[in-house]
Structure 1
């Protein structure tokens, strides 16, 4: 039986993770802001973190010291956080993703394949909607899907994306990936990737009905990660999908 430590155990995802871990027949422990993270890490076989970017550095330091793997599902990460993750991956197994859903993981694979086969005459737009309480935009999942599209096209997403259109913006730049973020109600997470060509359109979609889908995916990723060497891993590897 694997002991999975939940960082942010009292939050909405933390509660869902506890239920998913119990359903999988595994053990769980938890800690929140102000809790003893070092103790939690030392008593766990693997950690799952859906807390906040501000807490990530201390969590990674504790995992490195204890040589424990970690799944990071926290969104809103900045460039410096990814440098920290890269450094940690030299010593421990780290899986970081904007979405732990197995369905979204497969969707990203399909988006990458579609983008590789449809040239820049097909405009790509990523549309996402989440509950009114979500604080970051675009969502981590939207960025994950946009990155998959960029990889399929062989372009740099940071240099070829359009966000927050307002007013007279001019014509759409050929080859760019567009993002639109909607907020309202209690939506767990809806994502559409639109490939708009001349007189035809393809839409690849995913609808999250409950955050348990993310919890179950995170548990599967955590159990898989316990058998890996130090390094940085992704959700497609958990499913055995090819990566570019």
Structure 2
């Protein structure tokens, strides 16, 4: 007997990422779309979610999160920190697992997610792309090899609508590099430069943020010495990569009862 399909709920159903996630779930033979959720007052409420994709699904967009989660195995959430925290509290209460791609959490909010993960299983990563997570492993190797004589800069670019900076992915890249070098990113990270800044501190990790147009997500980590420059870059051409990575995370959670995981756990690259 084949296993029952994974019942997946999606938040932010009418947004760009929400539509991509819904399309991926509808196309996955081992998943079923159990709920399409959106914010109260959204003009999409009540619509068949398939209208966004040119098809009929029988699943209507709703703002009743509790009802949607009650018929779901896992929630995929790429919304805003305040909304995600409310959703995760309900997940913990109802025994629903969660994949979180939301970024911009404060340290206190991250601590709350860790507490909620004691009651349900959560995969949280600032970037669900399989390619980005492979790049993180490459950065770890590069940082250990290029540990002397190289200045390190992280450059990221996103669309005009992104509300947090630097991106969660850029920060994670910085964290990976800092950890490989035995540094604390909170102490060595430089997030703004203006005016007469003096010479660059060789132990620092710099960040540059670009916002404009419809850029989905570009990230580059530069290791620059006096003789050479090594750049490790990832560029997203479609949000589909985030959706497919999210489904891999959802499938991973099927065998987990509780705990906080990231994409290294999902991909087995830890």
Residue among 133, 138, 146 paired with 1:110: 138
The alignment of Structure 1 onto Structure 2 pairs a total of residues equal to: 242
Instruction: Give 2:71's aligned residue.
Output: 43
Higher relative contact order structure (alpha carbons within 8 Å, sequence separation ≥ 6): 1
Q: 5+ unaligned residues in a row in structure 1: which ranges?
A: none
Matched, 1:27 2:32: yes
CA distance in 2, matches of 1:40, 1:168: 54
In structure 2, the residue corresponding to 1:213 is in which secondary structure?
Answer: helix
Per-residue deviation, 1:86 = 0.7
The residue that corresponds to 1:13 in the other structure is 17
Larger Rg: 2
Normalised by the length of structure 2, the TM-score is 0.87
Deviation at 1:222, TM superposition (A): 1.0
Supply the distance in 1 between the matched residues of 2:64 and 2:149 (Cα, whole angstroms): 53
Does 2:154 align with 1:126? yes
* Distance in structure 2 (CA, Å) of the matches to 1:73 and 1:175: 30
After superposing on structure 2, the runs of 4+ consecutive aligned residues of structure 1 that deviate more than 3 Å are: none
Distance 1:165 1:181 in 2: 11
Aligned equivalents of 2:182, 2:77: Cα separation in 1: 31
- Where in structure 2 are there 5+ consecutive unaligned residues? 41-62
**TM-score of the pair, normalised by structure 1:** 0.96
Deviations 1:189-239 (A, max 9, x none): 111010112211110000100111111111111111121131110101111
Secondary structure class of the residue paired with 2:234: strand
Instruction: Mark the CA change 1:229 to 1:120 in structure 2 (over 3 Å): closer, same or farther.
Output: farther
Partner in structure 1 of residue 47 of structure 2: none
Q: CA deviation at 1:14?
A: 0.5
